[in-house]
Structure 1
Amino acid sequence: MRSLSSHPTGAAESRPALLARLSDFVETRLGLHFPPERLGDLERAISSAASEFGFATIDSCIEWLLATALSHRQIETLASHLTVGETYFFRDRRVFDILETQVLPAIIDSRRGRDQHLRIWSAACSSGEEPYSLAILLSRMIPDLNDWEISILATDISPVSLKKAAAGVYGEWSFRETPRWVKEGCFKKREKKFEIDPRIKRMVTFSCLNLAEDPYPAIVNAARAIDIIFCRNVLIYFSRDKAETVIRSLSRCLVDGGWLVVSPVEVPSAVMLPHLHPVRFPGAVLYRKGATMEEIIPRTTTLPAVAAAMPKPADTGAIREPSEVARAVRPAEKPRVPVPAAGGGRTPDQARLLADQGKLAEALAVCAEVIPDDKLNPTLHYLQATILQEMGRTAEAVAALQRALYIDQEFAIAHFALGHLLQGQGRRREAGKHLAKACSLLQALDDDEAPPQAEGMSAGRLIELIEVMQGSAGRG
């Protein structure tokens, strides 16, 4: 095998010219930006990717990339080499302290005793340290956690990273700058590694999602009606236009009053949207959807909790009273969607609208009213299942999807969704049957054709997601 640094014989273009063309390609296809001063970084990344793609030289790999209609799977492989998944538990402790002392208490307090649900999305989650940190934080903050519907969605473009994240096993390097109690209280030592507690692990759902290409918000990937989105250390790789597009899409995934957490060095001016405002805390800036003020500067406080010693045993009383600051940034009560009284013509569209606004209990109630009038409509049972899934009621969501498939056994998206949920429950044999059926149905469509209820996601992309879930190597 020839050295990766060598040029193929008779190359028509110089290495700089090839890299410049590749830079344009990468920006167009992935949204990742490599200006002239970063072409050295691009060359090093392609050196690593060339081996995985089976090429002996960088130049031959670049020429192939430029001449080939790459699949989503190949794009994801390329992207995994172009970005650095550098992470560890409770990275940037200031952000987690702000969440614990100010943002989360406001949300929890506003929903306690009423609609007790919370949805968080860790976008570009890499190997999983960030979403698991969020799960650990919530388990610490909410003593009656079993009475809440908690959903933590964790997505990444890299199937390799997602596989590691789903395993939940980490080495010492993942705990650098992490409070000692995290490792001692939430992990079990296994030889030289540490495996996360199953109760924490069950709080997180991992899924493959390409921020640059896949549609969101969308039911099919559960990326909607989110309270808090973490999207850190990924926008720095995007071009300005692509970063703006991603931020706009992420903001649509948030409920009114929801929060977007990004790294300060990667926020383009485009983030200053009319409905997304910066909220300034000591040492960090978060962005809030629908805030009425562009800037909230809390009084100086001691931000303690993540850095504290072992967490106290959960008591049975109410959580601590939120501080004045937390009350100051509490999401305002959102206007109710006008819904006719029972028997007055409720519709599935009203259920979807309520779900999009994060009013999941109300959306579910509408489903319960409309389904009896059209029991043999599989899309109504599918809609009910997606709402139940967002509420964390997985067993009921599975039952609703089974009802949809009893009515229509050719409902590809229902097979896909059911396979995904069953896999998350560890029921891999049953999951495999539904994923295989979904794949078979999708293969009957053109690659760029979107099946019903897929919200624009193409059959080809869904097949590739199924292959990631199954751990297969190709479409075949």
Structure 2
Amino acid sequence: MTGHAPSSNFAEQVAYRVGLSLPASRKGYVASAIARLMVRRGIGDSRLFLDRLGLDAELTDDAVAAITVGETHFFRGPDQFQLIRQTILPELRRRQSDGSPVRIWSLGCATGEEPYSLAILCDEEGLLGDVRISAADISRRALAIAKAAEYGEWSLRNTDHKQRKRHFTSCDEGFRLHERLRRRVEFAHLNLGTDELPAPEKQLADFDLILCRNVLVHLDAIAVPRIARQLLACLADGGWLLTAPADPPLWKYAPFETSVTPAGVVYRRIIAHPHATRSSISCATSVHGQTKKPVAHVPPVRACVGDARKELGDQTFKAIARQIRSHFDMGETREAARLAAQATESHPLSAELHFLHALSQMANEETAAAAAALRRVVYLDSTLAAAQFFLGACLKDSDPQAALRSFENVRLICISRPPQERVSLMPETTAGHLAERAQREIGKIRQSPGSEGP
């Protein structure tokens, strides 16, 4: 490889060396970024570059930055922060009757927006003195930025004026987090792909809540089962784990209790003494200022039971879906919604059943409920273009920017597939046709008055 521009295969080798995975869609971009990095560092030999990874911390940081997507901001994923505020923290506070602090861990914290969002949330709930927040990331450069706690307007785009005034002061860079909040977060370097966990000697164990969002998607798929078991072992009894929609599911690899909520999939470590406490996953679907309405309790399911479709059996599963579709096709949308609701309560890990439930709710003009159901589908499988498309349709009036993101996701998913390939859950539609429909919706939103899109 000496003397030639780095190839996609070499980019994969670099990713593997630092414990990360490289999606096919980013191979060309990452290869170009590594080529520029090699020129900047004066390294002309690919083998020498690989050998220096891990030994040269700055070079490793640069390689990690080229491979990963560093996009983050305060209160990213508002549904999950609502779940933390309304359900998880109150329950954890009740359980900590001995006065011990609630221990929270932000994994893959990047430049610190996520753990500081947690500190702000705890402060607003009057719990800042009762929590201990730890944070870790693979990038030492990102950690240095996090420790400085200075951010620009873009990082604070999900905060309101009241939050900025209460928790930040103006500085040359834009905004500086108040010192009392900054001191509440402890940062450490960690490579989740290679480091051993739990690590009690480093106080990396017995967490009550772990956020590991948009991290696992960057790791080698071979490492995910091991990491799932490690994360489970890092939780205290009854502890919670939150991942992101793009992250791979973990219930296959470790015996979590798994629930599907409006905020997505939630994992818990089974409580050793179940009579000591009881919790409910009855949480609000409030997003972007919508009215808070409690949703039905979603019973936890043992992760080890495996995939929901296998649990049901293919024939039983198909029969349930066929029955729901039959009622829907005959215009009996209320009955379709009733059957779908029952089916999703019994089998909360089935993306198809949640999708059918959403379609029936849309037919009944229950747009907010349909959007919540479609978010569950996306959390279960973010590659389902059909769910992304209908989610955009539900949101385009109430939240055009969120709808724009959904339609852009549809387009990206579909253009990565053969144009004539049938779309999963929409077998009458091809990937090429759905990409065109999504592009038209994107155009409408961007041309609408008041649109903030590019």
Q: Contact (CA 8 Å) 1:98, 1:303: kept in 2 or not? A: no
Could you tell me how far apart the structure 2 residues matched to 1:300 and 1:249 are? 27
Is residue 271 from structure 1 mapped to residue 232 from structure 2 by the alignment? Answer: no
Are the equivalent residues in 2 in contact too, given 1:22–1:62 (CA < 8 A)? no
CA distance, structure 1, for counterparts of residue 56 and residue 22 of structure 2: 21
User: Deviation string for 1:78-137 (max 9, x for gaps)?
Assistant: 22322122110000100000110111111112224x233111111111110000000111
> Counterpart in 2 of 1:282?
262
Q: Secondary structure at the match of 1:271?
A: coil
Q: Choose from 245, 249, 252 the match for 2:230.
A: 249
Question: Take 2:54 and 2:263, find their aligned partners in 1: how far apart are those partners?
Answer: 42
1:251-400 superposed matches below 5 A: 251-268=232-249, 270-290=250-270, 298=281, 301=284, 303=286
Report the Cα offset of residue 235 of structure 1.
1.2
Query: Could you say which residue in structure 1 is the equivalent of 2:205?
Result: 224
The answer as to whether partners of 1:231 and 1:260 remain within 8 angstroms in 2 is yes
Q: Compute the displacement of 1:192 (Å).
A: 5.2
1:174-213 deviations in whole A, cap 9, x for unaligned?
A: 1112233221210011245111111111110011111112
* 1:325 shift after superposition: 8.3
Q: Is the 8 A contact 2:5 2:35 kept in 1?
A: no
CA distances 1:14-45 after superposition (whole Å, capped 9, x unpaired): 647x4314414532x23322255542132133
| Counterpart residue identity of residue 101, structure 1 | Q
Q: Which amino acid aligns with 2:81?
A: F
**Which stretches in structure 2 are left out of the alignment for 5+ residues?**
301-454
Q: Residue 90 of structure 1 contacts residue 129 of structure 1 at CA under 8 Å; is this kept in 2?
A: yes
Residues 108 and 183 of structure 1, relative CA distance in 2, 3 Å threshold: same
Q: CA deviation at 1:70?
A: 4.2
Distance (whole Å) between structure 2 residues aligned to residue 300 and residue 32 of structure 1: 34
The answer for the alignment partner of 2:8 in structure 1 is 19
Partners of 1:184 and 1:261 in 2: how far apart? 29
Tell me if structure 2 keeps the 8 A contact 1:282–1:297.
no
Q: What is the percentage of aligned positions where both structures have the same residue?
A: 30
TM, length-normalised to structure 1: 0.55
1:259-304 CA distance string (max 9 Å, x none): 1111122124x433452132211142221111699xx995574537
SS at match of 1:154: strand
- Counterparts of 1:100 and 1:117, CA distance in 2: 16
Q: 5+ residue gaps in structure 1?
A: 1-6, 309-322, 330-476
2:394 aligns to what?
none
User: What TM-score, normalized to structure 2?
Assistant: 0.57
Q: Tell me which amino acid in the other structure corresponds to 1:122.
A: S
Give the Cα separation in 1 of the matches to 2:32 and 2:53.
23
Across the two proteins, how many residue pairs are aligned to each other?
291
Match status 1:42 vs 2:27: no
What does 1:77-476 align with in structure 2 at a 5 Å threshold? 77-112=62-97, 114-142=98-126, 145-146=128-129, 148=130, 150-191=131-172, 193-268=174-249, 270-290=250-270, 298=281, 301=284, 303=286
Letter in 2 for 1:81: A
Kindly provide the CA deviation profile for residues 402-443 of structure 1, in whole angstroms up to 9, marking residues without a partner as x. xxxxxxxxxxxxxxxxxxxxxxxxxxxxxxxxxxxxxxxxxx
Paired amino acid for 1:230? L
Alignment CA distance shift 1:299-1:256 (3 Å): closer
Indicate the SS of the match to 2:202: coil
Partner-residue secondary structure (3-state), 1:265: coil
Aligned mates of 2:235, 2:60 — CA distance in 1:
27
Instruction: Decide whether the 8 Å contact of 1:276 with 1:291 is kept in 2.
Output: no
119 and 81 in structure 1: CA distance in 2 versus 1, 3 angstrom threshold: same
Cα pair 1:80 1:157 within 8 Å, conserved: no
Alpha-carbon distance in structure 2 between the residues aligned to 1:135 and 1:107: 15
Counterparts in 2 of 1:111 and 1:167: CA distance versus 1, 3 Å: same
2:74–2:159 contact (8 Å) kept in structure 1: yes
Distance 1:206 1:281 in 2: 30
Cα gap change, 1:61/1:35 in structure 2, threshold over 3 Å: closer, same or farther?
A: farther
Contact 1:121–1:226 (Cα < 8 Å) also in 2: yes
SS in 2 for 1:26: helix
**What is the DSSP-based 3-state SS (H/G/I as helix, E as strand, rest coil) of the residue aligned with 1:264?**
coil
Amino acid at match of 1:92: G
Alignment partners' CA distance in 2, 1:75 and 1:246: 21
Kept in 2: contact 1:244–1:271 (CA 8 A)? no
